[in-house]
Structure 1
Amino acid sequence: MADEKKNRINDLYDTLVDPEEMTESTEPVETATVKSDEIVEETSPKQTEENKKRHSYSYYKNRENNYQDLLTLISDAERELADLKFRKILMESDFETLLNYYREVFLTKEREASAIAKGALLEYFTFELLRPLESRDLHLSNQEFSTWETKNFTLSYRLIDDNYIVFQLMMPTSDGKIRTEKIKLMTVYPETMRVEVLNDAVLTLLKDCYEKHIYTSGQNSIFSYQMNEVFSNMKELGFEMKDNLLDNSGPLSLSFRLPHKIRTETLDDIFITTMNDPKLDFKKLEESQYLVKLENQQTVQITEDEKKETSILILDTADNNKSLIEFFGAYPFLVALTL
């Protein structure tokens, strides 16, 4: 009875245990070999403390760098916001305010401004100078930077040495003629409130019209009329303007030396023209000196300097207010004297 009970217990044990686990392995057991340089030394408490300090220093260093980066970003954002507010103020400013800002930004350097703000200041400032042309479709060019366009001509402006503004002229050409270079027309000095119109520009326009036939006399006349509206506006804004050949606010009383002698053919043509018009007259005062009498007591005196091979012209429009362009527009046969 006892043996039978013992056998049942053994059978039950066999069902609970995997026979394979009860089998001893006959395969050899591999022994791991540890190299001497792979032995991991136990970290000492001192080394652990140094590692903690090193990791702590790296964290605070990164944190400080991030902090400085944030300060820089905030400073840049504040500067940009201040610049945006300044540009908004410029858009709302009248000429006097723009003039003050011009002095602070460009002349005294008291105020910092971005390149965009400086460009906006120049745009608004020059617009105020040219404001009369607004009725002539004055607008910024889509083709060129810093250039104002009207129906009849364009004026480019450039700030030179953060001091004065130079305006250059270009007009549409006729009959396929081409002018590749702009004509330097005038310089505006906001610091001293002066405007200087270059007489060479007027002489160039006359030459382009009557000799090269690039422009028409009508174009020159329109340009002269509209620019004199601009000159009147500049004077109202407080600018002073020297006498020049384009200004028609007063009579012409000019004396200038030409770098050439007057051709005999030119004098003959003037003589013939005056003889055919009873309102005009041509007289020889003395050797190499002539006088052309025009309407309304206007005169042109011609004196040739034989030694220097030059000529002197004296123009007098009496009480008639005219620019040189308007004068020669009325008497085109006299233009040849200047060419």
Structure 2
Amino acid sequence: MSEEEKKKSTELKKTQQMMDPYYEEKAQNHAEMVSWIASAEKELADLRLRKALLEADFPGLLNEYRRLIVTDAAISTVAKTNLLAYLTYELLRPLSDATLKQTDSYNIWQAKYFLVKYQLTDKRELALSFKMNVIDTRFAAKFMPLILLDLQEMSVTVDERQVLELIRLWYSEKIFSRNQLSLINYDLNRLLENFKKLGFAVSPSLLDNTRALSVDLESEFPLATGILDSIFITTMESSEYDFDKIGQANYQVKLNQEQNVYIHSEKNKTHLFIDSNNRRRSILDFFTHYPFFVPLIVRD
């Protein structure tokens, strides 16, 4: 039999088999089996990934974040959710001594003094927003986008506008107490310290209490005479403080421990220079100790 004849014979048998219900059923079963195997292999690969994530330490989780999240790899929702949860726990780990736990929302952790929500940005950075506990349930707090982590460049940035907003909420809105703000400040700085230990470069910020304050602040508000008079009266009532006028619109307030605050008005705005004399403290710590300066920066 020639090759041509063999080919025709084979094609004839295939045609006959296709017309045979028995062979049709076998073909369908074969297609289903191939599909099941592919599905099982995909599920097995997902289980292996989730097992690896469970076993990974922070460097391992970081590598998987870069490999899977940054590249937007095709992984299951469960694997992606688990990876982000395991990673953020390591970032928030200092708070675990205060019953850090996940809430019913997959991307929100509950700490002692606040809730922490994590979200991915369009650039695959990790944004941490904080909702502080309020002093009275009649008040309502919102999540504040306070910290941004770039897990590729290993950098941390604090939104200083939100730091000043914290001061306003405490001083003007009175939704939490001075003691609460101090405890919040302490825990947020524990997080910044942990980020450094994990290898992040943490940009200097008003929140950081590991650096001395030597900072210029500009307020959108004019230098009100009433506020200035109130600061003058407060400083004159304490033997630890002093108030001096320097020139036409410049003032120096001398505080205890040789700290100084310089106040001046320019273009209908208030400028404040705070010098803590090499004493390490955050702006939250400073203003909670010297609240009479707060109206220069934030108002009702």
After TM superposition, the score normalised by the length of structure 2 is 0.90
Does the CA contact (< 8 Å) of 1:279 and 1:294 recur in 2?
Answer: yes
Does the CA contact (< 8 Å) of 1:106 and 1:162 recur in 2?
Answer: no
Shift of residue 58, structure 1, vs aligned partner? 5.2
Residue 337, structure 1, aligned to residue 299, structure 2? no
Q: Which residue of 1 aligns with 2:117?
A: 156
Does the CA contact (< 8 Å) of 1:153 and 1:170 recur in 2?
Answer: yes
- State the alpha-carbon separation in 2 of the partners of residues 248 and 282 from structure 1: 26
Q: Give unpaired runs (5+ residues) of structure 2.
A: 1-14
- State the alpha-carbon separation in 1 of the partners of residues 285 and 141 from structure 2: 25
- State the alpha-carbon separation in 2 of the partners of residues 244 and 230 from structure 1: 14
Change (3 A) 1:201 1:177: farther
Sequence identity of aligned pairs in percent? Answer: 35
1:39-67 C-alpha deviation (Å, 9 max, x unpaired): xxxxxxxxxxxxx9487355534433332
Out of 116, 139, 151, the position equivalent to 2:78 is: 116
1:114-137 C-alpha deviation (Å, 9 max, x unpaired): 111111111111111111101111
Q: Which residue of 1 aligns with 2:146?
A: 185
Does the CA contact (< 8 Å) of 2:178 and 2:288 recur in 1?
Answer: yes
1:79-116 C-alpha deviation (Å, 9 max, x unpaired): 1111112111111111111111110001235x542111
Q: Which residue of 2 aligns with 1:20?
A: none
Does the CA contact (< 8 Å) of 2:182 and 2:285 recur in 1?
Answer: yes
- State the alpha-carbon separation in 2 of the partners of residues 250 and 298 from structure 1: 14
- 1:60 counterpart SS class: helix
Does the CA contact (< 8 Å) of 2:117 and 2:128 recur in 1?
Answer: yes
- State the alpha-carbon separation in 2 of the partners of residues 240 and 188 from structure 1: 10
Change (3 A) 1:337 1:177: farther
Q: Give unpaired runs (5+ residues) of structure 1.
A: 1-51
Q: Which residues of 2 match residues 55-94 of structure 1 at below 5 A?
A: 56=19, 59-94=22-57
Structural RMSD (CA): 1.9
Q: Which residue of 1 aligns with 2:233?
A: 272
Residue 136, structure 1, aligned to residue 95, structure 2? no
The one-letter code of the counterpart of 1:301 is: Y
Shift of residue 174, structure 1, vs aligned partner? 2.0
Change (3 A) 1:300 1:199: same
The one-letter code of the counterpart of 2:273 is: I
After TM superposition, the score normalised by the length of structure 1 is 0.80
Shift of residue 324, structure 1, vs aligned partner? 0.6
Change (3 A) 1:70 1:192: same
- The structure showing larger relative contact order (alpha-carbon pairs under 8 Å, at least 6 residues apart) is 2
Out of 243, 248, 251, the position equivalent to 1:290 is: 251
Out of 62, 80, 91, the position equivalent to 1:99 is: 62
- State the alpha-carbon separation in 1 of the partners of residues 251 and 24 from structure 2: 91
The one-letter code of the counterpart of 1:287 is: Q
Q: Which residues of 2 match residues 171-320 of structure 1 at below 5 A?
A: 171-305=132-266, 308-320=267-279
- State the alpha-carbon separation in 2 of the partners of residues 201 and 310 from structure 1: 20
- 1:80 counterpart SS class: helix
Shift of residue 68, structure 1, vs aligned partner? 2.1
1:225-254 C-alpha deviation (Å, 9 max, x unpaired): 111111111101110111111111110111
Aligned length: 285
Change (3 A) 1:310 1:58: farther
- State the alpha-carbon separation in 2 of the partners of residues 119 and 296 from structure 1: 49
